[in-house]
Amino acid sequence: PGAESHAGQIFCCVGALAITGALSHVDRDLLGWWLCEREVKTGGLNGRPEKLADVCYSWWVLSSLIMIDRVHWIDKEKLKKFILDCQDKENGGISDRPDDAVDVFHTFFGIAGLSFLEYPG
């Protein structure tokens, strides 16, 4: 309690360090390992250990991995599939998880994640 890491917070910290040119203070391999541990069996990413995958973390985790040059450590094909499985193919939009209701928040972050993954669609 009070000291739990979270992928969204990590993004903010890594982004601030990147902007200020201070990424040299980060152990990129250790941080990359922690971020890649967010990958779950479904191919999605979670924000904290023992939590469910959520499409929004395709932004928070991937962007952090890109900033520390470790994005190649993620199974990109499985993550693409997870994001696409969260898409409402009839009405449009992307949800947090497959078969949940779509919303603008997760649609935005899902599209951002697909962009990072160089999805052609």
3-state secondary structure of 94: strand
What pLDDT score was predicted for residue 1?
55
* Confidence bin at 5 (pLDDT 50/70/90): confident
Q: Which residue has the tokens 């994640």?
A: 113
3-state secondary structure of 2: coil
- Maximum distance among all Cα pairs of the chain, rounded to whole angstroms: 47
The type of residue at 31 is: L
DSSP string, 96-119: SSTTSPPBHHHHHHHHHHHHHTT-
- Each residue's pLDDT tens digit, 83-99: 999 999 999 999 999 99
- Each residue's pLDDT tens digit, 42-70: 999 999 999 999 999 999 999 999 999 99
Distance CA 1, CA 95 (A): 29
Q: What is the pTM of this model?
A: 0.93
**Mean pLDDT, range 22-40, rounded to an integer:** 97
- Map out the domains of the chain as residue ranges: 7-116
